[in-house]
Structure 1
Amino acid sequence: MIVIKKAEYVASAVKYEQYPVDGLPEIAMAGRSNVGKSSLINSFLGRRNLARTGNTPGKTQTLNFYRVNDAWFFVDLPGYGYAKVAKTVNAQWGPMMENYLKKREPLRAVIQIVDIRHAPSVEDVEMQQWLRTMEVPTMVVATKVDKISRGQLPKHLKVIANALEIPDVSLILPFSAQTGVGKKELNEAIEEILGLDLGGTEKA
């Protein structure tokens, strides 16, 4: 298990030259505006307000870098699919994402976050297909599990798996920032992706 000893906001970036140059491995978070990316980051890191949760969906239009244990980064990607975002901002989103996902050498994987309560949107499906096309390792996390009953979970997971063409529902990780459901499993998945031991150094 990764023990979070230190977590800090480092930078917000739009252009490639604004990205951190540490060379540390990165795990990016992608998802619709208001899907709960910031809440997931805060919950996972045990920091209540590190990642800013905005009341206005679509407000965050930069890549936000959070350094963890001085060993790796969470990268919060701009939320997609919010209709009220200005067209000029939406037009910038695609090239900015493509630039990051295609060229960013330290990127290890993308965690695509969806809302367990709703069928994946057109944008969610497009993002999943886009990540596959670019051959970026991807895992899907379904947030807000506390909002549905346990008995409804299999049905909702099946809807997500079918929409995103995921062959097995066990590949989708249910998560709740409120109750901590899925936090241990996410920790183990991230540890495996990064190949880090508890001290934050890479395993031999």
Structure 2
Amino acid sequence: MIVLIVTLPLNLWLCYTALKPEAEWPKPLLVVYARLEPFRILNGYGLFRVMTKERPEIQVEGSADGVDWVSYEFKWKPGDVNRAPRWCAPHQPRLDWQMWFAALGGRRQEDWFQNFMVRLLENEPAVTRLLARNPFPDKPPRYVRAILFKYQFTTSEERRATGAWWKRREIGEFFPEATLRR
């Protein structure tokens, strides 16, 4: 019972600060922290505690003619603004996760991303299976490109009015139009 009395308030506080990381600590906890801090047995480390305030996302597109472009849909990351966010825990969707990091870093020359785009141009089944939808199931696209967007959730009022879960604005080109030499 004593463990519950000690750990329950602490765990509730940790949950609260996970949701609101800028929250002020209560004075009694600050006093305890100040006394223990010289011993370096406590710290504010938290893996990915606060990652981003915005959500940059890469939209990958393919085209048969270089004029009409169709989006590839990923299984987990935002794409279609009308698609609700999906719950994936405890699964770790590696491709979607790497796409997010690529968008955060703006690293347009990452080898894995270039290889990913080449595999889409080849319609490589091992790669297209990682996607929710391949818009070119029978014949590979002739061109691919990637556009960077900033996403944010719609308000509940906006969602009721439009049905959209996300708002997005285009930032610009992430990966230029590319094709395979034939």
TM-score above 0.5: no
TM-score, normalised via structure 2 length: 0.25
The structure that has the greater radius of gyration is: 2
